Amino acid sequence: MARPRTFDPDTVLDAALQVFWSKGFHGTSFDDITAVSGLTKPSLYAAFGDKNALFRKALDRYHGFLLKRTKTQLAKGVTAREAIAAWLADYIPLCTGSRGARGCFSINTLTDSALDDAEITGSAIRFYRDLEAMVAARLTQGASEFPDDFNAAATARTMIAAYAGLMVLAKDAPSAAETKAVAAQLLRLLDTPS
């Protein structure tokens, strides 16, 4: 009879995510994960599989967190513009200063040429598609706020491209003012002509 788990899998995944994010996939060993999680290697293997499987689960957890965060922000504000402004403002701390200097775990994964894993790449691509769909849906929901020729899909794609770019530039630890200026420019895409 198998013994019941005495640990919280989400807590272990969060700890593993932080190590993978800091050291990268190849720089992280199972010993690193056991040190932060308190679990033995056999327990880690039994619960999560090999290092690739653990990495994929940590990446999926990261994506889930960001999508949930986006959903919450996009629900704010009466107008689509207010909702997008809330979403952009929420990400400013994640891509500025020392907090942003380690970049985005997802972007880091996509740009790591040593990681040639279709499932890992697929997870990151699905995340960006889902993120784009959420932004496009919110813009479409607020279509009456914009001119007749407003293209919600193209605007959403532009915003996601800028978001990804901000996450790449975060490694340079830009100031909050620099990042806010980019967000302000993005919001101009939503301004209606006077």
Q: Where are the domains positioned within the chain? A: 58-190
- CATH assignment of 58-190, given 3.90.1010.10, 1.10.357.10, 1.10.150.120, 3.30.70.580? 1.10.357.10
- The pLDDT confidence band at residue 20, using thresholds 50, 70 and 90, is very high
Mean pLDDT of all residues in 159-166: 93
> For residues 160 and 135, is the Cβ–Cβ distance under 8 A?
yes
Cα dihedral 167→168→172→176 (10° resolution): -20
pLDDT in tens, 66-106: 999 999 999 988 899 999 999 999 989 989 988 888 889 99
Which pLDDT score is estimated for 132?
Answer: 97
**Alpha-helical regions (H) of the chain:** 9-27, 30-37, 41-48, 51-74, 80-91, 97-100, 105-111, 118-141, 152-169, 176-187
Mean pLDDT of all residues in 150-167: 94
Average pLDDT of the chain is 89
Q: Is the pLDDT reported for residue 15 higher than 90?
A: yes
Give the Cα separation of 34 and 44 in Å (integer): 8
Which pLDDT score is estimated for 13?
Answer: 93
> For residues 70 and 131, is the Cβ–Cβ distance under 8 A?
yes
Give the Cα separation of 118 and 115 in Å (integer): 9
Which pLDDT score is estimated for 114?
Answer: 63
> For residues 41 and 54, is the Cβ–Cβ distance under 8 A?
no
Mean pLDDT of all residues in 173-181: 93
- Name the residue with higher pLDDT: 89 or 192: 89
Q: Is the pLDDT reported for residue 5 higher than 80?
A: no
